[in-house]
Amino acid sequence: MAGPLRTAEPSAPPPAPGGRRGGLSGYLLLLPGGVWLALFFVVPTATLVATSLYDPSGSLQLGYRMTGHVQNYADSLQDYAPQLVRSFVYAGTATLACVVLGFPLAYAIAFKAGRWKNLMLVAVIAPFFTSFLVRTLSWQYILGDNEALVSFLRAVRVLGEDGHLLATPFAVVTGLTYNFLPFMVLPLYASLEKIDHRFLEAAADLYSSPFTAFRTVTLPLAMPGLVAGTLLTFIPSAGDYINSELLGNPQTRMVGNEIQDLFAAGDYPTASALSVTLMAAIVLLVFVYVRRSGTEELV
Amino acid sequence: MSQESAPQGAGADLVLSGLTKRFATFTAVDDLDLRVPQGSFFALLGPSGCGKTTTLRMVAGLEEPTAGTITLGTDDITHLKPYKRPVNTVFQSYALFPHLSIAANVAFGLRRRGRKQVAEDVERMLDLVELTGLADRRPAQLSGGQQQRVALARALINQPRVLLLDEPLGALDLKLRRQMQIELKRIQTEVGLTFVHVTHDQEEAMTMADTVAVMNAGRIEQLGPPEVLYECPATTFVANFLGQSNLVAGRVVGGSGVSGGGDGGDVVLDVHGATVRADRARAVVAQGDVWVGVRPEKVVLAPAGVAPPEPAGNCLRGGVVSDVSFVGVSTQYLVRMPWGQELTAFSQNSGHHERLRTGAAVDLHWSPAHTFCLDASQDAAAGVEPEDR
Ligand SMILES: Nc1ncnc2c1ncn2[C@@H]1O[C@H](COP(=O)(O)OP(=O)(O)OP(=O)(O)O)[C@@H](O)[C@H]1O
Ligand SMILES: [Mg+2]
């Protein structure tokens, strides 16, 4: 008859009073973040996945039926595989361009800027004070057919007589690069800035020329920043549609453009299936990337 | 010391001539002249901030000298890039590469010079510094003393012509430190490398080095074998920094002229009314006012008026024991003299004489052979370590 008494604390080992309280307050502290995550990440993701399995013959007006229609994925892939691949190619190219432009910049700010350091950092962040849309629109002018840049490039024969920049893949990648460059520079700067100058002296003492020291010491120590920077540029670039919308043409459409159009047209199941595919592909790529670039060289 | 023609035998001596380093207006190293013979163990000893690290950095090529030259054998390396110098450094701050394993840290220099097979050498080196089995760890996973030994291994493995050691044993406990001192000394004699060893620790400098240079405020105060430095300090700074000294104001009253003036070559001094003798050879100054010096362990205390067990020669009377501290192997006495100065005497606890008590009236006895005379214009407290004051 001791049953009900015992079930009060079923088989839990008697915890140390302090540990018990610590555990409880730990969970309490997690609560706000947990609620936030549940509300704005778990629920939407679950809804998205659910929507991607709706019967595609429904509509917003008539309502959708949950039929577990996995075929949505195959259909969306069949129709939009080129855009998906293009998204990754553009995002990859833009990320590469961000590394090429961002690394020297971050390096210069960290090691060579002296008292200009803070000013240069502010300059990196300054574009955020204006809207993303306005900044992208301004590239329409910069790359426009009647503007100075194109005229100049035509004059020096880099572009043909009727060559243009706007509405080309080049313009889209340029826009992506421009918009996400700060997300590359800032984490890179943070990593580089932390590198103790004495490591480079030790490398020099141990027969490393400045270039070798860069390759064997500076670069590995900057890896965390490089990984963070590439993720912060690649992931949003892959899902972006503004740059393609404003600077591209129908042949440069990215998967984001298609998803946006599908939602606008009310084809929720296909749009959701495409979104889930994009998300899964990014997660997979990032996972492989972090695995390969990570652990070995990271501190 | 302008460009001495290097004799043939002294193939790869490290020679610093007129070496100077100024940071803005502050002179960290001041017109330094130094010859470190090839294959010798050379210790650079001096208080914090006297320019030891700066000197090493110039030799390593990490700091550009303001003036002067550095030559290694016949090569002028003053302006050579650090990675082209046959010189390696054990850094005061270790500067181990945090992203590399211990093994990779140690192998770094060999790899940069194109060696492929390094595993064996690395293992041998890690054995030598007693870090066997830690090869795969990262520097952050080692204790301070272990990191220091990795820094040592990382430099030693390259067998440079000159190894610069910037307080390489500072973080080790006494036992390991003694052990590593012996190990270092053994490696140095075995491999015949030139070691320039920077240290705060005078005992370490004296036990390990063939030659000790005492540095102060960017200059070399005195340079020589440890025994000579200890027995015949040339300046008050060396007298106080290397061990302790009693320095008493005195005046030369005889024996300064022709040697053998009836005094057996000794300088005769007047010290607060008492007559004291000093070995002529040990008097840096033998005229006028001087500091008369004697090491505390050379002083024998005897109760006032009683002759010491063995006649010593010099005697100062009228002292009163003001402090007695027992330190195991010896007892340290502070004796207040009639003119107010406190002198120090160490007495071995050999059990042959009874311990004196505070307040006892004593005489100080010591031999003229242990007396030295220094320039009276120097500060008698120069080089006294703060805790000794
Ligand atoms: N880059 C620098 N700029 C200005 N002053 C410096 C610089 N490097 C060293 N100094 C000064 O030069 C002096 C000598 O420094 P150094 O590091 O050579 O001392 P040290 O003898 O190695 O001292 P420690 O025993 O404490 O290591 C110090 O007073 C220091 O403040
Ligand atoms: Mg130093």
B339: domain CATH number is 2.40.50.100
Same domain, B221 and B156: yes
Distance B27 CA to ligand 1 centre (A): 10
CATH number at residue B32: 3.40.50.300
ipTM of this predicted structure: 0.82
Task: Map out the domains of chain A with their CATH numbers.
Answer: 60-293 (1.10.3720.10)
Q: Choose from A89-98, A158-167, B234-243, B345-354 the range with maximum mean pLDDT.
A: A89-98
pLDDT at B109: 96
Length of chain B: 389
Of A198, A216, A220, the CB nearest to B91: A198
On whether residue B154 sits in a domain, the answer given is: yes
Among the ranges given (A207-221, B62-76, B231-245, B304-318), the one the predictor scored with the smallest mean pLDDT = B304-318
pLDDT in tens, A141-180: 999 998 999 999 999 988 888 888 999 999 999 999 999 9
Report whether A188 contacts A225 (CB < 8 A). yes
Considering only CA atoms, which residue is closest to atom 30 of ligand 1? Answer: B49
C-alpha dihedral, A87 to A88 to A94 to A97, nearest 10°: -160
Paired with B266 in beta bridges are B279
In angstroms, the CA B256 to CA B234 distance is 18
Q: Nearest CA of chain A to the CA of B34: how many Å?
A: 22
pLDDT at B387: 53
Task: List CB contacts (< 8 A) between A194 and chain B.
Answer: none
Distance B47 CA to ligand 2 centre (A): 9
Summary mean pLDDT of chain B: 88
pLDDT at A294: 62
Of B61, B95, B99, the CB nearest to A202: B95
> Above 70 in pLDDT, residue A17?
no
In angstroms, the CA B135 to CA B104 distance is 8
pLDDT in tens, A64-94: 888 888 999 999 999 999 999 999 999 999 9
* Local confidence band at B201 (pLDDT 50, 70, 90 cut-offs): confident
In angstroms, the CA A158 to CA B260 distance is 99
In angstroms, the CA A230 to CA A185 distance is 10
> Above 90 in pLDDT, residue B356?
no
Task: List CB contacts (< 8 A) between B104 and chain A.
Answer: none
The DSSP 8-state label assigned to residue A115 in this structure reads G
Task: List CB contacts (< 8 A) between B157 and chain A.
Answer: none
Domain boundary pick from B231, B266, B287: B231
Environment class of A212 (CB within 10 Å of its CB; exposed 0-12, middle 13-18, buried 19+): middle
Site to probe by mutation for ligand 1, drawn from B23, B201, B219, B241 as the one with most ligand atoms within 8 Å of Cβ, is: B23
Report whether B69 contacts B78 (CB < 8 A). yes
Choose the mutation target among B91, B97, B101, B154 for the interface with A, i.e. most A CBs under 10 Å. Answer: B97
Cβ contact, residue pair B83, A297, below 8 Å: no
Crossing angle between the packed helical segments A268-293 and A43-51, to the nearest 10 degrees: 120
On whether residue B343 sits in a domain, the answer given is: yes
pLDDT in tens, A214-230: 999 999 999 999 999 99
Same domain, B216 and B137: yes
In angstroms, the CA A225 to CA A233 distance is 12
Summary mean pLDDT of chain A: 88
On whether residue B2 sits in a domain, the answer given is: no
pLDDT in tens, B128-174: 888 999 999 999 999 888 898 999 999 999 999 999 999 988 878 88
Q: What is the DSSP string of A195-259?
A: S-HHHHHHHHHTT--HHHHIIIIIHHHHHHHHHHHHHHHHHHHHH--HHHHHH--GGG--HHHHH
Considering only CA atoms, which residue is closest to atom 29 of ligand 1? Answer: B49
In which residue are the tokens 């300064």 written? B256
Q: Nearest CA of chain B to the CA of A284: how many Å?
A: 27
Q: Nearest CA of chain B to the CA of A114: how many Å?
A: 18
On whether residue B237 sits in a domain, the answer given is: no
Residue A146's CB: how many other CB atoms inside 10 A?
8
> Above 90 in pLDDT, residue A115?
yes
The candidate with the shortest Cα–Cα distance to A246, out of A117, A110, A154, A143, is A143
A199 at B interface, C-beta within 8 A: yes
Q: Which of residues 222-251 of A touch B (CB under 8 A)?
A: 223
**Structural domains in chain B (count):** 2
pLDDT at A21: 55
Q: In what order do the strands lie in the sheet with B314-326?
A: B300-303, B361-366, B314-326, B330-336, B342-348
pLDDT at A11: 45
In angstroms, the CA A182 to CA A128 distance is 9
Q: Report the pLDDT averaged over residues B19-44.
A: 94
> Above 90 in pLDDT, residue B180?
no
Residue B296's CB: how many other CB atoms inside 10 A?
19
Same domain, B273 and B155: no
Angle at A290 between CA A288 and CA A296, to 5 degrees: 115
The DSSP 8-state label assigned to residue A145 in this structure reads T
> Above 50 in pLDDT, residue B114?
yes
* Local confidence band at B190 (pLDDT 50, 70, 90 cut-offs): confident
Distance B9 CA to ligand 2 centre (A): 32
Same domain, B191 and B70: yes
Choose the mutation target among B93, B99, B106 for the interface with A, i.e. most A CBs under 10 Å. Answer: B99
Percent of chain A with pLDDT over 90: 74
Q: Report the pLDDT averaged over residues B68-73.
A: 95
Domain of residue B190: give its range: 14-231
Crossing angle between the packed helical segments B119-128 and B102-112, to the nearest 10 degrees: 120
Distance B216 CA to ligand 1 centre (A): 12
Domain boundary pick from B231, B257, B279: B231
Q: B118-126: long-range contacts (C-beta < 8 A, 24 or more apart)? A: B121/B157, B122/B157, B125/B153, B125/B156, B125/B157, B126/B102, B126/B153
pLDDT at B256: 55
Same domain, B158 and B114: yes
Closest CA in chain B for residue A299: B99
Same domain, B194 and B112: yes
In angstroms, the CA B34 to CA B45 distance is 13
Q: Nearest CA of chain B to the CA of A203: how many Å?
A: 8
Distance A49 CA to ligand 2 centre (A): 63
Same domain, B286 and B161: no
Q: Nearest CA of chain A to the CA of B142: how many Å?
A: 14
On whether residue B303 sits in a domain, the answer given is: yes
Calculate the alpha carbon distances from B147 to B92, B153, B172, B231 in Å: 11, 10, 10, 37
Domain boundary pick from B200, B231, B262: B231
Of A196, A207, A220, the CB nearest to B112: A207
> Above 50 in pLDDT, residue A255?
yes
Indicate the pairing of strand B314-326 with strand B300-303.
unpaired
pTM to 2 decimal places: 0.81
Choose the mutation target among B77, B83, B165 for the interface with A, i.e. most A CBs under 10 Å. Answer: B83
Task: List CB contacts (< 8 A) between A299 and chain B.
Answer: 98-99, 138, 140
Closest CA in chain B for residue A198: B95
Half-sphere exposure of B157 (CA within 13 A, CB side): 32
The DSSP 8-state label assigned to residue A63 in this structure reads B
pLDDT at A1: 36
pLDDT at B279: 86
Same domain, B125 and B271: no
On whether residue B385 sits in a domain, the answer given is: no
3-state secondary structure chain B: CCCCCCCCCCCCCEEEEEEEEEECCEEEEEEEEEEECCCCEEEEECCCCCCHHHHHHHHHCCCCCCEEEEEECCEECCCCCHHHCCEEEECCCCCCCCCCCHHHHHHHHHHHCCCCCCHHHHHHHHHHCCCCCCCCCCHHHCCHHHHHHHHHHHHHCCCCCEEEEECCCCCCCHHHHHHHHHHHHHHHHHHCCEEEEEECCHHHHHHHCCEEEEEECCEEEEEECHHHHHHCCCCHHHHHHCCCCEEEEEEEEECCCCCCCCCCCEEEEEECCEEEEEEHHHECCCCCEEEEEECHHHCEEEECCCCCCCCCCEEEEEEEEEEEEECCCEEEEEEECCCCCEEEEEEECCCCCCCCCCCCEEEEEECHHHCEEEECCCCCCCCCCHHHC
Distance B50 CA to ligand 1 centre (A): 7
**Counting one residue from A and one from B, how many pairs have CB atoms under 8 Å apart?**
67
Report whether B50 contacts B30 (CB < 8 A). no
Task: List CB contacts (< 8 A) between A206 and chain B.
Answer: 83, 88, 108-109, 112, 154-155, 158
Of A198, A204, A221, the CB nearest to B83: A204
Q: Report the pLDDT averaged over residues A195-203.
A: 95
Q: Nearest CA of chain B to the CA of A125: how many Å?
A: 30
In angstroms, the CA A54 to CA A73 distance is 11
pLDDT at A159: 87
> Above 70 in pLDDT, residue A295?
no
pLDDT at B96: 96
* Local confidence band at B286 (pLDDT 50, 70, 90 cut-offs): confident
Same domain, B99 and B26: yes
Task: List CB contacts (< 8 A) between B158 and chain A.
Answer: 206-207
Indicate the pairing of strand B219-224 with strand B246-254.
unpaired
Considering only CA atoms, which residue is closest to atom 28 of ligand 1? Answer: B49
Same domain, B93 and B201: yes
Site residues for ligand 1, CB cut-off 6 Å: B 23, 26, 28, 46, 48-54, 92, 200
Same domain, B220 and B92: yes
Site to probe by mutation for ligand 1, drawn from B25, B26, B198 as the one with most ligand atoms within 8 Å of Cβ, is: B26
Task: List CB contacts (< 8 A) between A209 and chain B.
Answer: 81, 83
Distance B164 CA to ligand 2 centre (A): 12
On whether residue B387 sits in a domain, the answer given is: no
On whether residue B352 sits in a domain, the answer given is: yes
Half-sphere exposure of A192 (CA within 13 A, CB side): 23
> Above 60 in pLDDT, residue A186?
yes
Same domain, B266 and B164: no
**Amino acid making up residue A241:** Y
pLDDT at B379: 87
In angstroms, the CA A177 to CA B187 distance is 57
Task: List CB contacts (< 8 A) between B160 and chain A.
Answer: none
Comparing A299 with B276, which gets the higher pLDDT?
B276
Percent of chain B with pLDDT over 90: 63
pLDDT in tens, A262-272: 999 989 999 99
